A and B are shown apart, each in its own frame.
Chain A
Amino acid sequence: MRILNALKSDVKFQFKQGFYFVYIILTLLYMIVIGQIPNKFINYVVPIVIFTDPSFIGFFFIGGIVMLEKIQGVLQYLVITPLSPKEYLISKTISLTILAELAGFAITLVTYKDSFNWIILFLGILLTSIFYTLYGFIVASGCNTINQYFVKMIPYLLILIIPLLVYFSFPNITVLKAMPPVSGFNLIYGAFNGIKLIEALGYIAYMSVINFFTLLIVENIFIKNIIKGGAL
């Protein structure tokens, strides 16, 4: 119940801040831009757009949210509320993932006319968004300004992007599939271009485990920095 209330207030906050409005505009834009692309390329372009934009929402916004709540003193008050740090993190992550799912499906529905695997797409966006949002928490730790967050984003983003770029060039290097961005991308890409059931299940199980351990790491950082008065 506590977590549901936190989730409700997070979604409300994001709505008030204009997150949903911005994504309505962006969806309209994607509709125009993707509408110019020849049909034979749409099944490549749409998964790339879904993976690089809606799935990334959490990573982009979480730094600002954490820093704002820090300035407002919300994080300090968290210690004396019944809401545990883990519940706080889950609520933030799930609320941003709801936005990612809505934006991802909206873009798909207005730009992609063929059939696609709804369940795989849902799980692909879900697991990727959870991972990126938690990863964003790690980047945000120690930052005091948004500009610091932007700068810190660059090396952290490169860690995610480089394996993906290498994978695009050398898809036969199996070890790259174990990198969370590659696993997430393959799930989303598979929703549009087909994926073997066993492969999809493997990625889903693997990403779930990775997300669980990332949550534990982030929770530790969070407790260390907030409860013990560090600089998140």
Chain B
Amino acid sequence: MISKTSFKADFKMVVRDPILILFFILPIFIPILIKIALNFVVPLIFRYTGVNLIEYYGYVLMVSILITPLMLGTVSAFLLIDERDSRIQELIKITPVGYFGYISNRLLLPFIGSIMYTILTYLLLDIYNLEFVQLILIAILIGIEGIQIAYLLYNLATDKVQGLTYSKGFGVFTILALADIFNVKWFRIVGGLTPFYWITKLIIDFSLSTVMLAIIIHIIYLIFIFRHK
């Protein structure tokens, strides 16, 4: 009950804060912009390089999907960092919501937002065919990645500047997700050790073993990130 009230309060805070509203609306423009860009870029790349980007649409879908957890995770992490800096968290710790309730509510935002926008991005882009179960599983795992990014950034960064540094470094995740494209064996192995790589695998090569590995890797990272604090 307390948690529900607290979540309602958090939701109200998001609705009242124009900055947060903007961040939770912005991801809708990403697939639209990518769709428009693809119309220009695909023939251009083909004309100059002979590479047909259509063959790589699975990877394009992955990059488009990953933008949302990266964006919402970063925004939520900075919200948490700001509240830590302004010592709001110390007050919340002594309320009935408690620290765990507070963190859970904050992390619900990137989780729900990422799930929602993964499905929306898939539908709006409409460049690659996924089965319903495949899409739902990918959406849930992307939601978990939203939590992982937010909590990892929040815990790694001792202040705003470090937060910015790490968020810049988190761009690496997108490249790791595409590790299969690159003809570098060690890089593919490194990519395979991260959850982001397995979303690409789920898109390109949906099989029982891929599903199992993707779920296991996501759970391991989730446990590791929350225990690491």
Q: Which residues of A contact B (CB under 8 A)?
A: 17-19, 22, 25-26, 29, 32-33, 35-36, 38, 41, 60-61, 63-65, 67-68, 71, 145-148, 150-151
B75 in complex: contacting residue of A18, A33, A147, CB < 8 Å: A147
Query: How far apart sit A151 and B17, CA to CA, in the bound complex (Å)?
Result: 12
B160 in complex: contacting residue of A22, A32, A60, A67, CB < 8 Å: A67
Q: Establish whether residues B169 and A64, one from each chain, have CB atoms under 8 Å apart when the complex forms.
A: no
- Hey, which chain A residues are within 8 Å of B183, CB to CB? 36
Q: Is B20 an interface residue (CB 8 A)?
A: yes
Number of interface residues of B (CB under 8 A): 30
Q: Is the interface of A mostly helix, strand, loop or mixed?
A: helix
Q: Establish whether residues B49 and A38, one from each chain, have CB atoms under 8 Å apart when the complex forms.
A: yes
- Hey, which chain B residues are within 8 Å of A61, CB to CB? 161, 164-165
- Hey, which chain B residues are within 8 Å of A63, CB to CB? 164
Interface string of B118-151 (1 = CB under 8 A from A): 0000000000000000000000000000000000
Segment of B52-60, B62-70, B76-84, B220-228 in the binding face: B76-84
- The number of A-B residue pairs with CB atoms under 8 Å apart is 73
- Hey, which chain B residues are within 8 Å of A29, CB to CB? 172, 175
A60-B168 CB under 8 A given contacts A32-B182, A36-B182, A151-B23: yes
- Hey, which chain A residues are within 8 Å of B78, CB to CB? 145-147, 150
Query: How far apart sit A35 and B161, CA to CA, in the bound complex (Å)?
Result: 31
Residues of B161-184 at the interface with A, using a CB-CB cut-off of 8 Å, are: 161-166, 168-169, 171-172, 175, 181-184
Q: Establish whether residues B187 and A32, one from each chain, have CB atoms under 8 Å apart when the complex forms.
A: yes
B172 in complex: contacting residue of A26, A35, A38, A146, CB < 8 Å: A26
A33-B182 CB under 8 A given contacts A41-B49, A146-B160: yes
Query: How far apart sit A146 and B23, CA to CA, in the bound complex (Å)?
Result: 12
